[in-house]
Structure 1
Amino acid sequence: MRDVLPWREAVAPDGTMGEPRARGRFGGYGGRYAPESLVEACREVEEAFREAWADPGFRGALARLLAVHAGRPTPLTPARRLSEALGVELYLKREDLTHTGSHKINNVLGQALLAIRMGRRRLIAETGAGQHGVATATAAALLGLEATVFMGERDIERQALNVFRMRMLGAEVVPVTTGSRTLKDATSEAMRHWVGATGDSHYCVGSVVGPDPYPWMVREFQRVIGDEARGQCAAELRTGVPDHVVACVGGGSNAAGTFAGFADTPARLVGVEADGGAGAARGRLGVLHGCRSLFLQDDDGQIIQAHSIAAGLDYPGVGPEHAHLRDLGRARYVTVTDGEAVGAALRLARTEGIVPALESAHALAWVIRAAGDGDLPAGSTVLMTLSGRGDKDVSTLKELL
């Protein structure tokens, strides 16, 4: 389906992608909707994060870990053959080349250091595609912490490789058998578990969702993607700043981190959602997992089950800052089908020698479609965040191709 929403003026009002307003608000979204015990826990996380983020020692320790353990900076790779075929200049920000194979490690290392600073010895996490769970298990092993990861039973079946990796790294993987048995339910179970474990555990949220301060904090830990890409584009692109900045969106952490580096530029920001999980494109105002945002709902306001071939996009909503960016017209949110994503993954593999995660393939599928229908004018420069590598999806792709 072709997206027909017109572009709006690509400008950033003062404060866009800065610190949220009081009580963690991004416009009319965000907030802290949680049981009283978790409200206090979130206050403690916010206070600790503010102190840590203002501490050069903390930021220096995180930067060192990102460099020597995660492998930052990640390269900006020109997709030369695909660019020639599409008639645009496509550059890939290679988060697939980080240790653990996705952008998730950026956020997890930050939160793990914060947990230690707070005196917590265990990390709790949710995961869909398994990449956040692997990153959490990796950080826990590296820093001497325990890790408990909640994962939907359906996702455990389709992401068996990542489940094995988590367990090999020493994490406990807890199957979630309720509801759709996917990411939404894993998140719900992780939050319920945290209620009884706030004294010794830190909930390491994997995306820009959840109660304040998580949407803001996770975006700041992921901002390294956009900041690096901004400098790399200035050095490599003839235009200095790309015409379009594109990233896939489930909850939206890799997109938020990428967009943060370009919010004050004329670049057009494009978030690409799964057609069956399009919270920003088709969601309605609601509250889920501790924040007010846009969620897929029925006429009675009940959350509708999302669907995506990419487990990391199988979420019925979007982070509150993305909902705010949509309302401002600063970012545009579009959708891609399962079939388009599979086709894009195969095309990147055969033109550039890169097998992307199916999540990232959604972003590429929109670039391919938009170049073909004129939504991306010929000669446009496009920066796309390749958020993860496709090892985890090989079994799924093998069944389809």
Structure 2
Amino acid sequence: MTQENSSQVFRADENGYFGAYGGAELPPHLVKPIAQVREAYAKAANDPEFQAAYRDLLVNYVGRPSLLYFAENLTREVGGAKIYLKREDLNHSGSHKINHCLGEVLLAKRMGKRKVIAETGAGQHGVALATAAALLGLECEVHMGEIDVEKQHPNVIRMQLLGAKVVPVSHGGRSLKEAVDSAFDTYAADYEDTMFCIGSVVGPDPYPSMVRDFQSVVGKEVKEQMLKAEGRLPDALVACVGGGSNAMGLFDAFLPESEVALYGVEPAGEGLDGQRHAATMAKGSAGFIHGMNTLVLQEENGEPSPVHSIASGLDYPGVGPQHAALRDSGRVNYVTCDDQAALAAFSQLSKSEGIIPALESSHAVAYACQLAKELDSDKIVVANLSGRGDKDVDYVAERLGL
């Protein structure tokens, strides 16, 4: 990868593009409010007081740094390379989502907003945003597809207990894509007092860069922790990819480290031959969705295709624009994991290490195990355990007949 290509995928240009992907393609009535977010974040990113307040919350509220855990039992069962898990599931609220939600709500408060609004699929972003809003004294509204409301009911209750208004979305596929549509529409009608807090590295500039920056603490910690534990960097990093926030958070600090292989794991769902998957990198094409130019699973008329994953947080027909650019550059290897493999990894990690992972994270665990088998025992693989599986236990029990 040339230096020019490196700069295009490591950071967005002045127009919010990572190479050919990104930007801010917006209807006229949203140009001004999104520009205000962009300006506010640019100032906050260079404000030592804002950054100090954010770091204090990460340490004293979230409980960072999260553990980098050597999964000794899993490593022995799988054979091959050592498997480490970055334990984002141990964060307050149960996933990596709290990292950017605290940053976004801090920014909303700085901007004088009284309310934050968002979409959620698995409910982890919704829970994290409701948590941050409760802490910092803002109203919170979360839009969620009806399928996911039923599938992720424990997280719906958690959001409501935290004081958030949960809006079920009943149109279209009734999942994550429609939740984003609904949240954007509501935001457009009330942007003076509201900030849209997108839940991944997707959407119009500055969100892909802003969410990545808040999540970059994950990879920075892994670097330091791995050097302390093993005296060197890992050989490979693995993270699941829907929109791609946990993966960008893990990968960002390692993008310049060419000796570290990076793997983003997409949901193959029920198989790549049909439409019951959400593997945008494998099957998508250049297109437009939710204010950004990126790779999209789409119909011949350009409309997003219906998608599926056993993991509600991964069933999105697009992907973060930086991921699309990283795929084209070859810096990140994008692979797939189907529903059955994710379920098997969910069960294996639960029984081998006493750790119940989110179904989203189970995709990364499954591929990390596959990769470890292919490597020698002196190699190291780190998988990002992006969330805990409490929200999934009833659904998994039904699938497994427990």
Class of the TM-score when normalised by the shorter of the 2 chains = over 0.9
The one-letter code matched in structure 2 to 1:386 is L
The one-letter code matched in structure 2 to 1:65 is L
Describe the superposition over 1:3-46 as per-residue Cα deviations: whole angstroms up to 9, x where unpaired.
xxxxxx79995436543112100000001011112111111101
Runs of 5+ unmatched residues, structure 2: 269-276
The Cα shift of 1:181 comes to 0.4
The Cα shift of 1:378 comes to 4.6
The one-letter code matched in structure 2 to 1:348 is L
The one-letter code matched in structure 1 to 2:370 is R
2:19 to 27, 34, 52: 27
- Answering whether residue 327 of structure 2 is matched by residue 334 of structure 1, we say no
Asked whether the equivalents of residues 116 and 196 of structure 2 are also in contact (C-alpha less than 8 Å), the reply is yes
* 1:259–1:160 Cα change, 3 Å: same
Asked whether the equivalents of residues 10 and 330 of structure 1 are also in contact (C-alpha less than 8 Å), the reply is no
Distance in 1 (CA, whole Å) between partners of 2:13 and 2:288 is: 18
Asked whether the equivalents of residues 123 and 146 of structure 1 are also in contact (C-alpha less than 8 Å), the reply is yes
TM-score normalized with structure 2 length: 0.94
1:177 to 170, 178, 200: 170
Describe the superposition over 1:157-213 as per-residue Cα deviations: whole angstroms up to 9, x where unpaired.
000000000001110000100110000000011011111111000000000000010
Asked whether the equivalents of residues 372 and 381 of structure 2 are also in contact (C-alpha less than 8 Å), the reply is no
- Answering whether residue 309 of structure 2 is matched by residue 317 of structure 1, we say no
The Cα shift of 1:377 comes to 4.6
Describe the superposition over 1:291-342 as per-residue Cα deviations: whole angstroms up to 9, x where unpaired.
0000111233221111001000011111000000000000011111100000
Match of 1:267 in 2: 260
Match of 1:351 in 2: 352
Asked whether the equivalents of residues 10 and 267 of structure 1 are also in contact (C-alpha less than 8 Å), the reply is no
Report the 3-state secondary structure (helix = DSSP H, G, I; strand = E; otherwise coil) of the residue aligned with 1:382: strand
Match of 1:3 in 2: none
Out of 13-22 and 209-218, give the one that drifted further.
13-22
1:41 to 33, 44, 56: 33
Match of 1:379 in 2: 378
2:242 to 250, 258, 279: 250
Match of 1:369 in 2: 370
Report the 3-state secondary structure (helix = DSSP H, G, I; strand = E; otherwise coil) of the residue aligned with 1:69: helix
Residues matched between the structures, number? 390
1:154 to 147, 157, 160: 147
Distance in 1 (CA, whole Å) between partners of 2:365 and 2:75 is: 12
Asked whether the equivalents of residues 278 and 314 of structure 2 are also in contact (C-alpha less than 8 Å), the reply is yes
The one-letter code matched in structure 1 to 2:342 is A
Out of 379-388 and 54-63, give the one that drifted further.
379-388
Match of 2:308 in 1: 307
Give matches, 1:152-301, under 5 Å: 152-238=145-231, 240-265=232-257, 266-275=259-268, 276-301=277-302
The one-letter code matched in structure 2 to 1:317 is G
Match of 1:144 in 2: 137
Runs of 5+ unmatched residues, structure 1: 1-8
The one-letter code matched in structure 2 to 1:223 is S
TM-score normalized with structure 1 length: 0.95
* 1:312–1:264 Cα change, 3 Å: same
Distance in 1 (CA, whole Å) between partners of 2:5 and 2:318 is: 24
Asked whether the equivalents of residues 11 and 330 of structure 1 are also in contact (C-alpha less than 8 Å), the reply is no
The one-letter code matched in structure 2 to 1:257 is G
The Cα shift of 1:93 comes to 0.6
The Cα shift of 1:215 comes to 0.4
The Cα shift of 1:281 comes to 2.0
Report the identity percentage: 51
Report the 3-state secondary structure (helix = DSSP H, G, I; strand = E; otherwise coil) of the residue aligned with 2:303: coil
* 1:59–1:71 Cα change, 3 Å: same
Asked whether the equivalents of residues 16 and 263 of structure 1 are also in contact (C-alpha less than 8 Å), the reply is no
Describe the superposition over 1:45-66 as per-residue Cα deviations: whole angstroms up to 9, x where unpaired.
0110010010010000000111
Match of 1:113 in 2: 106
Asked whether the equivalents of residues 284 and 295 of structure 1 are also in contact (C-alpha less than 8 Å), the reply is yes
Distance in 1 (CA, whole Å) between partners of 2:11 and 2:40 is: 15
